[in-house]
Each structure stands twice: as structure tokens, then as C-alpha cells.
A and B are shown apart, each in its own frame.
Chain A
Amino acid sequence: MTIEKAYMLISVFLFLSGLLGVIIRKNLITLLISTELMLNGVNLALVSADRLVGGVEGQVFALFILAVAASEVAVGLGLIVALFRLKGYEGSSEITHLRD
């Protein structure tokens, strides 16, 4: 077992715990933070695969994932603020209807 494979195990752990966070967290903001955990896990998997295979393509894709994460956070937090302002919702169990 090489060190890159160990890092890949850590990345799988990060992704799955982010998924667990999306399932179990109550607050919408912490739910978004768990999504970020999943994105970090994918980044780590790409970089360690890069090191295993030998190349830079994985790092380029990880950079695009960083850009997508930034835009996702902007839109997601905008949605949370709009939901809170319109309805007063703050928990993931409160959003049961897409419209009135």
C-alpha cells in the first residue's frame, strides 16, 4: 500500500462523511458545509490519482471543481437567504413544498 492509495482512502472517507452530513444535519447552512466536504473529497481523490498515474490533468479538473464550488456557494447561500426572508425557513425539514 503506497501513500497515494492511503490518501485516496481518506478522500473516500471525506466524500462519504459529507454525504452523511447532507443526510443528517438539520440546519440548512451546515448542510451546505457538508456539500463542501464532498467537493473537497473529490478534489483530494483527483490529486492523489494524479500522483498515482503521473500527470497534471487531475489538478486542472480540481481547479475547475474549485470554481464550481465557489459558484455553488454563492447561489446556495443566496437561496437560503431568500428562503429565510420570504418564509422564515431555517431547517431542512421545513422545506416540504416547492411553491405555495
Chain B
Amino acid sequence: MEWLIFGFLSTWVVLSVMGVLFLKNPIHALLSFVSLILAVAGMFLHLRAELLAGLQLIIYAVAIVVFYVLVITTIPWEKVKRFEGFYKREFFVGFPVLLLSLALFAYAIIKGNFARVGLEAKDNVKEVGKSLFTTYLFPLEVASVILLTAMIGAILLGRKEE
């Protein structure tokens, strides 16, 4: 049963990745990206990371995709049509290199061993929340400052020059 779910989700992911990489229209690429997000959220659920699956849906599938759609609507279509698709020559150079590195990574993962240090977390949301607000409290605050900086930067970049 586990491998059935894995097969379904991984086929879904591979198809969506092909869509993101090779579809011509940016809107279609964005739609396959949404489908990829849903598949990855399913993978998180299967790996019993429920909090992260929910956050993936909320942050990626809502916030980030809406950003993209807003920006695509601000850019006129005839201009976008000039640059669509992908570079053929770069594909034929880059694809074998990345395939070779995928093979190397796969060898390392399949042959390698992982240490088990901790116990299995029972209640995922509770455990992550506890760890987030005790051990990783300072990085959490730094993340909020990063988001504020990004917001100010985006406002500065996006405002019209007088």
C-alpha cells in the first residue's frame, strides 16, 4: 500500500515537472506548478509531516501562486509571447550533466546508511511547534525580519518612478 501511494505521487510529480519545464505558455507552466505543489503536499502527508503539508498548501498554493498570477496579468501578452519555450542547445548540454549527477546522487542514497538518533514523533504539529518556540525561537524571529525586509524591498521595487 505504501509503495502504491508512492508510485501514484511520484508519477504525478514527474508529469508536473515535465509540464513546468517544457510547456510553452507561462500560465500553463504555472498551472503544472500548482499541480506539483499538491503532489508534494501529498508526499508530506505520507511522510507524516501534517503541519508542513498544510503550510505548503497555504503558503505555496495560495500566496506564491497568486503573486505569480498578479505579475503575469500586469505584463502585456504580446511581449510575453516573444520569449517562450526553452533553449535547445543549453538543454542538450545541460541534460546529460544533470542526468549523470542524478545517477551519482542515487548511488549515494541507495548505498548509504542513515543513523537513527531520535524517537518517532507522535504528535507532529505539537512536536514541531514546541521545537519552533523553544529551541528555534531566535531563527523564527529572524525569519519574520526577513519577511519584513522582503516586503519593504518589493514595495520599493514595484512602485512607479515619478
For the complex, give the distance between the alpha carbons of A27 and B22 in Å: 12
For the complex, give the distance between the alpha carbons of A30 and B118 in Å: 40
Taking residues whose C-beta sits less than 8 angstroms from the other chain, chain B's interface range is 35 or more
User: Does B124 contact A20, Cβ atoms closer than 8 Å?
Assistant: no
Residues of B39-90 at the interface with A, using a CB-CB cut-off of 8 Å, are 40, 43-44, 46-49, 51-52, 55-56, 59-60, 63-64, 67-68, 71-72, 74-75, 79-80, 82-87, 90
Residue of B nearest to A83 (CB): B157
Residue of A nearest to B113 (CB): A52
Hey, which chain B residues are within 8 Å of A26, CB to CB?
A: 83-87
For the complex, give the distance between the alpha carbons of A17 and B94 in Å: 10
Residues of A28-55 at the interface with B, using a CB-CB cut-off of 8 Å, are 28-30, 32-34, 36-37, 40, 43-44, 47-55
User: Does B64 contact A36, Cβ atoms closer than 8 Å?
Assistant: yes
For the complex, give the distance between the alpha carbons of A75 and B147 in Å: 10
User: Does A40 contact B75, Cβ atoms closer than 8 Å?
Assistant: no
Cβ of B8 under 8 Å from chain A: no
| A48 and B151 in contact, given A24-B87, A55-B121, A70-B63 (Cβ under 8 angstroms) | no
User: Does B158 contact A91, Cβ atoms closer than 8 Å?
Assistant: no
Hey, which chain B residues are within 8 Å of A16, CB to CB?
A: 98, 101-102, 105
Q: How many residues of A contact B (CB 8 A)?
A: 74
> Which one of B26, B68, B79, B150 contacts A70 once the chains associate, using CB atoms below 8 Å?
B150
Hey, which chain B residues are within 8 Å of A30, CB to CB?
A: 20, 26, 29
Hey, which chain B residues are within 8 Å of A88, CB to CB?
A: 79
Report which B residues bind A (CB closer than 8 A). 2-3, 6, 10, 13-14, 17, 20-21, 26, 29-30, 33, 36-37, 40, 43-44, 46-49, 51-52, 55-56, 59-60, 63-64, 67-68, 71-72, 74-75, 79-80, 82-87, 90-91, 94-95, 98, 101-102, 105-106, 109-110, 114-121, 124, 127-128, 131-132, 136, 139-140, 143, 146-147, 149-151, 153-154, 156-158, 160-161
Closest 7 CB pairs of A and B: A71-B150, A91-B83, A78-B157, A55-B118, A54-B118, A74-B154, A24-B86
Report which A residues bind B (CB closer than 8 A). 1, 3-10, 12-14, 16-17, 19-21, 23-30, 32-34, 36-37, 40, 43-44, 47-57, 59-60, 62-64, 66-75, 77-82, 84-86, 88, 90-94
